[in-house]
Amino acid sequence: MDSKESYAVVTGASQGLGKSFAENLARKKINVILVSLPDQKLKEFSQELQELYDVKVHYYETDLSVNDNVMRLTEWLNRSFEIHILINNAGLGGTKKFTEASPHYINTILQVNVTATSLITHQLLPNLLKQPKAYILNVSSMAAFSPIGFKTVYPASKSFIHSFSRGLHEELKDTNVFVSVVNPGAMKTNTDVCKRIEKQGFIGRLTLLNPDKVASYCIRQLFKKDSVIMVNPISWLMMKILPIWIKLPLMTQAIKREIEA
């Protein structure tokens, strides 16, 4: 793989796990294209990566909840770059009573988590297939393994990502494109998130992860061709062992405590 002229695309790259993915790739001397919402200091972060790691860095600011924006992004990427890595990290969560959720709130989560991930992958796949070796990493969640009250839309969207990734992996297994999915728990992305997760009690604290460690591990496992990356084995074991009639009310209660707090 000649990474001197090919690029890795990272969505949701301005903060949290996406930012850590970008830093880890640049550290490995892989050129990166960063995608994020406008006004997230993406230009400054791009310049910082370029100066620190001596790699080529481009950035693109857009709202992925709008389908036309997704198509314009992928058209620009295909026209301008050879791409050998795609990390679909952009995603939206949210904790809210479903009766109090607005149509816009519901639609935005589905558009970013489900539609944008699917469309970006679909549109960039011909580009990836042209490379000697190529990788797709989709970011799902531990929430993919259980429905959760007060987070009704988010776990459902992450179940889609997990299923989509496994299916695409099987479909492309005889090609040069390797597809993987990671199912992390909550991240220590900022102080507010940490406080919010800790209010969920023991379960919340148990699943809280460091984004830099997660990104580093994911990229290592991606290149080792691990198709389902588990960064928190304890949480995963709990999700697999506990029957739905136990874990559904247990997790819903944890989220309810967060709302009440």
> At 142, is the pLDDT very low, low, confident or very high (cuts 50, 70, 90)?
confident
Range of the domain at 158: 6-189+209-233
Whether 184 is covered by a domain: the verdict is yes
Q: Do 187 and 214 touch, CB atoms closer than 8 A?
A: yes
Q: Which of 97-101, 135-139, 233-237, 256-260 is most confident?
A: 135-139
Q: What is the mean pLDDT of the segment spanning 144-164? A: 92
Instruction: Tell me if 253 is assigned to some domain.
Output: no
**Would you say residue 122 lies in a domain?**
yes
Number of domains in the chain: 1
Structure confidence by residue, pLDDT tens digits, 216-253:
999 999 999 999 999 887 776 777 777 787 778 777 77
Annotated active-site positions, please?
A: 154
- The H-assigned helical ranges of 130-243 are 153-171, 191-198, 202-207, 211-223, 233-241
Span 35-46, pLDDT tens digits = 999 999 999 999
pLDDT in tens, 187-225: 655 555 555 555 555 555 555 678 999 999 999 999 999
In a domain, 139, yes or no: yes
In a domain? residue 195: no
Q: What is the pTM of this model?
A: 0.88
In a domain, residue 34? The reply is yes
Determine, yes or no, domain membership for 218. yes
Residue-level length of the chain:
261
Inter-CA distances, 197 with 99, 102, 143, 192, 219, Å:
22, 23, 14, 9, 25
Q: Are 26 and 32 in contact (CB under 8 A)?
A: yes
157 or 149: which leads in pLDDT: 157
Supply φ then ψ for residue 209, to 5 degrees: -125, 155
pLDDT (average), residues 102-110 = 96
Residue 1 lies in a domain: no
**CATH number of the CATH domain containing 103:** 3.40.50.720
